[in-house]
Amino acid sequence: MSIHCATAVAHPNIAFIKYWGNRENTLRLPSNGSISMNLAGLFTRTTVQFDPSLESDQVILNGTTPPYPTIQRITSFLDIVREMAGKQTPARVVSENNFPTGAGIASSASAFAALGLAASQAAGLKVTEPQLSALARRGSGSACRSIPGGFTEWLTGSGDRDSFAVTIASADHWKLYDCIAILEVDHKPVGSTQGHSLAATSILQSARVADAPRRLDICRHAILTKNFENLAEIAEQDSNLMHAVMMTSSPPLFYWAPTSLNIIKNVPTWRKENLPVFYTLDAGSNVHLICPEPYQDQVIKRLMDIPNVQNVLIAPPGGPASLAQG
Ligand code: PMV
């Protein structure tokens, strides 16, 4: 492998305490801290090669050239890496997700975590895990949580350097499963970058942010002590709070589909029937149902019985972003 070329792999993550809204948009400094679990089995694999013979950056995502705004976003991110490395060489970026594209699984976290690691390595930079996490954050906030392994917490920090994610428990600490119900929907949701900039237009956002330290403490403690009931209660509350902010922004954002609500309303009934499970939703209609081992098969079966559930993806906790063979 030439020093100018590197390949990296990173997992997406699911947040139990969500990031929604920036206190500074360009640096993607979050309004509140967040906690998530990396998703093993699902990954983005990205190769970056700095090549002086290129006139500009070339990007291939899942076998095709992406739309111009996507290329621009990747070029802006590579510019940060080039500035850190003191170089101007254009790069060739080839990236693939192993999970179905268009299925509505947010891929920006795994995408920018893998791109950050591959690009910094290809540029010859020596970076620590926190520095790499802070770098990935510049591409997509939640990407900083896909750099360290297992259950991770993004510390808000005071600025660019100390706003990064750390592992709070390793992937093998607790065998939880994320069962992701992929729904049939025909509209493209408003992207999270645009969504973050609307968060402050909701009168509920300040209350949500002010209360975040309490939710983070409960969530962190529930993970460390493997208290599923407490984790379930705080994660559902946090997801509902984020969606309440989304729905009360100007303009309002409604990410739930009728089937999302159908699943949400079923979950407490399933819990009463002794199935330990909770729901959480990101900026899309897919519902993430989290359960401990060995309940994943029961959760999948119940989900597949719900009309309009197209498919269920399943993921236990995943490790950190890592370098791979090209
Ligand atoms: O990293 P972004 O800009 O795609 O934002 C992610 C936002 C949510 O997925 C809705 C919440 C989160 O913390 O992952």
The CATH number that applies at residue 213 is 3.30.70.890
pLDDT for 172 = 98
192 lines ligand 1 (CB under 6 A): yes
Alpha-carbon gap, residue 9 to 324, rounded angstroms: 7
Alpha-carbon gap, residue 259 to 265, rounded angstroms: 10
C-alpha closest to that of 71 among 83, 61, 81, 84: 61
Q: Which residues of the chain have pLDDT under 50?
A: 1-2
Query: CATH no. for residue 58?
Result: 3.30.230.10
Domain assignment present for 324: no
The separation between the first and the last C-alpha atoms of the chain, rounded to the nearest angstrom, is 8
Q: For 262-293, how does the pLDDT look when each residue is reduced to its tens digit (9 = 90+)?
A: 999 999 999 999 999 999 999 999 999 999 99
Q: Which of 172, 192, 224 is the last residue of a domain?
A: 172
pLDDT for 101 = 65
Residues 211, 303 share a domain: yes
Domain limits for position 99: 4-172
C-alpha closest to that of 75 among 100, 50, 43: 50
Residue the block writes with tokens 């791979």: 324
106 lines ligand 1 (CB under 6 A): yes
With H, G, I as helix, E, B as strand and everything else as coil, classify residue 235: helix
Domain assignment present for 320: no
- What's the total number of domains in the chain? 2
Alpha-carbon gap, residue 281 to 168, rounded angstroms: 22
pLDDT for 1 = 42
Alpha-carbon gap, residue 45 to 321, rounded angstroms: 10
Give the β-pairing of 91-97 and 44-50. Answer: antiparallel
Residues 180, 142 share a domain: no
Structure tokens at 135: 């770098």
152 lines ligand 1 (CB under 6 A): no
Residues 205, 132 share a domain: no
Q: How many residues does the chain have?
A: 326
> Helices 68-85 and 129-139, interaxial angle, to 10°?
150
Domain assignment present for 136: yes
Q: Which atom of ligand 1 is nearest to the CA of 154?
A: 13
Torsion angle, alpha carbons of 131, 153, 29, 130, to 10? 0
Residues 227, 82 share a domain: no
Give the β-pairing of 34-38 and 29-30. Answer: unpaired
Residues 283, 184 share a domain: yes
Domain assignment present for 51: yes
Residues 183, 305 share a domain: yes
DSSP letter at 189 equals P
C-alpha closest to that of 76 among 61, 93, 64, 101: 93
Residues 225, 96 share a domain: no
Q: Which of 110, 142, 172 is the last residue of a domain?
A: 172
List C-alpha distances in Å: 170 to 7, 154, 242: 23, 15, 26
Q: For 184-231, how does the pLDDT look when each residue is reduced to its tens digit (9 = 90+)?
A: 776 777 889 899 999 999 999 999 999 999 999 999 999 999 999 999
Domain assignment present for 156: yes
140 lines ligand 1 (CB under 6 A): yes
Residues 17, 87 share a domain: yes
Residues 88, 50 share a domain: yes
Residues 289, 275 share a domain: yes
- Name the residue of 18, 147, 190 whose CB sits within 8 Å of the most ligand 1 atoms, as the mutation to test its pocket: 18
Domain assignment present for 213: yes
Residue 289: φ, ψ to 5° = -105, 120
Domain assignment present for 321: no
Residues 65, 41 share a domain: yes
Residues 211, 167 share a domain: no
- Helices of type H across 180-225: 192-198, 205-210, 212-224
Dist. CA 194 → ligand 1 center (Å): 11
Is residue 68 exposed (0-12), middle (13-18) or buried (19+ Cβ within 10 Å)? exposed
Between CA 44 and CA 115, with CA 152 as vertex, the angle to 5 degrees is 30
282 lines ligand 1 (CB under 6 A): yes
Q: Which of 151, 172, 193 is the last residue of a domain?
A: 172
Domain assignment present for 116: yes
Alpha-carbon gap, residue 15 to 34, rounded angstroms: 7
